[in-house]
């Protein structure tokens, strides 16, 4: 099952994956999902927002248990972020059937569309639309780097963009959503555990910093006559690191766009994107305010205009305590393994975080010894992945079976 998915959307140079929403690679991943669903006799369904569902039992019965994740990737991402949750969901169902489990609640496996936001800049579009956290009007304005709008991309991929919008009836039928995901960090590796349960997702935002100066000739413009926004940008990148260190948070400038971007031209515009996250809202506010203050002070002294726009924001997500405790109980008691399952927070956003506003959600993490993610170096051992499947099967059995 894992092998079929491996070559799709892979960049042969980096070994990383480029599975962006509504592209050819995305369509191949979707075809794979549908084939997996049908080969298991599950009822396949594509919802109005482009999320794929595979049902065992009658959804109309309500109180369904849902598991799954996403199949799209960041630019040159690793093989596990997303697909591990979907593959493990199918594998856990196979395991439950081997065990002869009898289901008392409907079960579904889901692939949420456009989780990474690699193409249109906004993460979790599929789950946001479903949960009503993104309006169709806002979604229609999303545009990729080539100027193609989300509706145009959806249409080209054969999906009706007019159909998108909130789907409260669907959510009302779901009693619990459990997402399994490779850990994006080294907490489990440092504690020596294979599997963990998520406690919370840190608050998280993206800010665009536009530094505007004056384009000029790099060879003939005296230093004192320059208004070079690249200098402001550089000061701000270093300020971000300083502020994050002070606060025990993270802050990253990973994306930049420069005009005119010529070797012999002082730039007129440097646009840098800040990603920052912290354990709580007050800390995050302090960090971002500190970075913006440093950027303004430097810019004011050097004739650089600065605009800061918050492009996205997700407040802190505490996963539902009842479901989390129930999972800890299932994984702690009566199992024939002596695996400890710690509870840990994470800085990464997930569809489970979006849906937690509407329905009880929880997450399982599988150890990633490199701590690396969003890169081809992302890794999970086969033993740890199998431990993840067993844990997910145990949770689903505990929640949905006699």
Residues found near its own copies in the complex (CB under 8 A)? 16, 74-76, 118, 121, 123, 183-186, 202, 204, 206, 214-223, 225, 228, 230-231, 233-235, 237-238, 241, 244-245, 250, 252-256, 258-268, 273, 275, 277, 346-349, 371-377
Q: How far apart are CA 269 and CA 253, in angstroms?
A: 16
**Shortest distance, position 391 Cβ to its own copies, whole Å:** 20
- Report the Cα–Cα distance between both ends of the chain, in Å, rounded: 28
Angle at 121 between CA 278 and CA 204, to 5 degrees: 10
Of residues 174 and 237, the one with the C-beta less far from its own copies: 237
CB of 374 to its own copies, least distance (A): 4
CB of 82 to its own copies, least distance (A): 13
**Torsions phi, psi for 239 (to 5 deg):** -65, -35
Q: Of 153 and 244, which CB lies nearer to its own copies in the complex structure?
A: 244
Q: In the complex, what is the shortest distance from the CB of residue 236 to its own copies, in angstroms, rounded to a whole number?
A: 8
Q: How far is the CB of 47 from its own copies (least distance, A)?
A: 25
Structure tokens at 233: 């940008």
- Please identify, using beta-carbon distances, which residue of 118 and 396 lies nearer to its own copies: 118
Instruction: Look up tokens 């989300």; give the residue.
Output: 150
> Based on CB atoms, which residue is closest to its own copies, 46 or 372?
372
Task: Please provide the DSSP assignment of 122-155 as one string.
Answer: -S-HHHHHHHTSS-HHHHHT-B-TTS-BHHHHHH
Alpha carbons 39 and 31: distance in angstroms, whole number:
12
The single residue listed with the structure tokens 């459990």 is 178
- Kindly state the smallest distance separating residue 393's Cβ from its own copies, in Å: 26
Of 225 and 383, CB closest to its own copies = 225
Give the dihedral sign, CA 372/374/375/379.
positive
Query: Given the complex with its own copies, which of 283 and 390 has the nearer CB atom?
Result: 283
Q: Provide, rounded to whole angstroms, the least separation between the CB of residue 372 and its own copies.
A: 5
3-state class (DSSP) for residue 103: strand
**Burial (CB count within 10 angstroms: exposed 0-12, middle 13-18, buried 19+), residue 195:** buried
Name which of 76 and 320 has its Cβ closer to its own copies: 76
């Amino acid at each position: 099952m894992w092998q079929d998915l491996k070559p799709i959307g892979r960049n042969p140079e980096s070994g990383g994956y480029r599975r962006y929403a509504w592209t050819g690679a995305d369509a191949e991943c979707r075809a794979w999902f549908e084939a997996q669903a049908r080969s298991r006799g599950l009822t396949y369904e594509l919802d109005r927002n482009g999320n794929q569902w595979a049902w065992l039992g009658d959804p109309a019965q309500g109180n369904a248990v849902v598991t799954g994740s996403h199949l799209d990737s960041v630019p040159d991402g690793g093989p596990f972020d997303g697909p591990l949750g979907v593959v493990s969901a199918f594998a856990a169902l196979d395991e439950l059937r081997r065990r002869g489990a009898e289901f008392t609640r409907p079960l579904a496996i889901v692939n949420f569309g456009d989780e990474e936001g690699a193409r249109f800049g906004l993460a979790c579009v599929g789950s946001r639309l479903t949960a009503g956290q993104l309006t169709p009007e806002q979604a229609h304005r999303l545009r990729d780097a080539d100027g193609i709008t989300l509706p145009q991309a959806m249409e080209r991929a054969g999906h009706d963009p007019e159909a998108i919008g909130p789907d409260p009836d669907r959510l009302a039928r779901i009693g619990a959503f459990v997402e399994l995901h490779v850990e994006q960090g080294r907490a489990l590796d440092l504690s020596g555990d294979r599997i963990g349960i998520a406690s919370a997702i840190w608050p998280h935002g993206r800010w665009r910093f536009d530094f505007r100066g004056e384009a000029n000739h790099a060879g003939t413009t005296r230093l004192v006559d320059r208004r070079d926004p690249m200098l402001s940008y550089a000061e701000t990148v270093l300020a971000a690191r300083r502020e994050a260190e002070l606060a025990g948070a993270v802050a990253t400038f990973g994306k930049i766009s420069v005009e005119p971007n010529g070797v012999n031209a002082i730039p007129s515009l440097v646009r840098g994107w800040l990603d920052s996250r912290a354990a709580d809202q007050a800390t995050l506010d302090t960090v971002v305010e500190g970075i913006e203050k440093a950027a303004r002070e430097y810019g004011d002294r050097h004739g650089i205009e600065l605009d800061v726009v918050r492009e996205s924001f997700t407040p802190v997500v505490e996963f539902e305590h009842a479901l989390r405790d129930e999972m800890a109980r299932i994984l702690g008691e009566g199992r024939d393994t002596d695996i400890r399952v710690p509870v840990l927070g994470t800085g990464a956003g997930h569809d489970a975080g979006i849906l937690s506003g509407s329905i009880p959600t929880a997450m399982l993490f599988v150890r990633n010894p490199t701590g690396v993610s969003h890169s081809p170096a992302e890794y999970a051992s086969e033993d740890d992945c199998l431990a993840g499947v067993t844990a997910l099967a145990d949770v689903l059995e505990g929640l949905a079976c006699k």
